[in-house]
Structure 1
Amino acid sequence: MTSSFRGASAESVAALTDGLRGAVGGSPETAAVVAGELFGVSQTLRGEGSLRRFVSDVSVPDEAKTGLVGQVFGGKVAEATLSVVRSAVSRRWVSAGDLPKALEHLGVVAAVASAGDQAGRLSDELFAFAQAVKDAPELRDALSDPARALEDKARLVRSLLEGKALPATTTLAVQSLAGTYRTVAVALAEYQKVAAEVQNQGLATVRVARDLSGAERDRLAEVLSRQYGRPVHLNLLVDPTVLGGIRVEIGDDVIDGTVSSRLDDARRRLAG
């Protein structure tokens, strides 16, 4: 998410995100290829400290940096991907670590673009997979086991999702295993935020005692969209502890209209 970058790095990410749209040319197929390759380049830069430091060093001429990435990645990635990487190494970064982080972010943006007009479904599937990992201890342990090979974890994820979810969902679920975030759950939550950001949407987590009907979801989304001045995507959680009513978390805001919250308020007033 661009808000995780600061100063020159934030400016570079914003410019690169705009440039990425031109690189993929509105083609979901190209976007899918670029997404996977940017994840690979990001991983390479994280693992090769000397290369990372060289291509992010402001004292090194841009021609030298773009020439080196051309030598390292030319012929191994699509020209659209190489164009994005060349542009990235020509920009300023607050720290060398921001460069691979930015390329991963751009990979997520490209993956969202590859979903085309199904980006809303992508958000729902990422949320559903995150909940599945949370609710299944055996799956969570398998994906977080440091002794288990990354490719073995990736095969497990693909076996669970392929044919049942969008290709972009599978791509991002596999990328969440890369270890660039503290946990798979944190990575998936960040990817959902990027998906919402790409679509210029807010992202709301809604906790309810029972599932909402389609009409109820639409009304709630409409109310929140009017309140926040842009479309809002809903992540719905059925939570028995809610008792009744609804709790909405959107950004730093919490709208708590649950029975349990009202009972807690009453208890506090009585205690006071």
Structure 2
Amino acid sequence: MKFEDDYTSYWGLRGLPFDNVPDPRFYVPCVQHDAAHRWLNYGIQARKGILLLTGDIGCGKTLLSRRLIVGLSPAQYDVALVANPALSPSELLDEVLAQFGLELVQSKAARLQMLNERLQLNEQRGVSSVLVVDEAQAIESLNGFEELRLLTNFQLNDRYLLTVVLIGQPELRGLVADIPQLNQRIAVRAHLGPFTAEETTAYIGARMEAVTDRTDVFTKEAIASIFEQSQGIGRVINTLCDQCLFAGAIEQVTQIDDRLVQRVGPVTNTPMAVEKSAAKDLNGIGSYREVISKYASGRQ
């Protein structure tokens, strides 16, 4: 095998099973992810004010959010996705309007009026308005959170015209708790942690099943070693499996066993490797329209 070739041809794969990009087609159901998905869906359908999803780094928050978005029919939901909210309060409001496809105007009052008119129009059309804010722990100040809270003041007959979904790392819960007015409006709270050993086995099997009919590429011992080294963190599992498949193709082995995993693991789990993986994940994030366009074929 040439180094410039990928490993898919060697293993007979139809694609890259462990690419660290939040692709809903590779969503693997497990108890905690399914529960979080159901709660968020409920909150959106019931038009609750603010929903909160937190999770440890690399545990699938972004992938779950993309699956959630892809499952929302554009005929029934007007969705705006703010993927990088590390902005000042005024910039954050501008980004919200931009993601709803609205033109920016000078006056803040005029911007809010424009957004209110959009939400009112959606209400008249029978369309629910949803704002998804990913990596919400990166919001620069408490005033930024206050801007988002104020957006839920848009109401009609005691019904919220906008549902805000905040997604972020565990520290987001502390940030929200410091703003009682915001904290009290959170109707749904969900949290994602690492996979269990059983979930890791199912996860690797399902990702491989999506691209090959082979069920024996990773031995049971290899999967156990992957779980031990990754501690059940999905992003690390992806990186480790990806590197094992590449190394296995280079070495021309017929299976990935625990010895290969143990050789690859120390390299894969360095801070540099995890940082690169996280950056790759972030690069896969786009606007709501980009998510729908890219993954329309994978809508469930």
Query: Do they fold alike, i.e. is TM over 0.5?
Result: no
Higher relative contact order (CA closer than 8 Å, sequence separation 6+): 2
Name the TM-score, length of structure 1 as normaliser.
Answer: 0.29
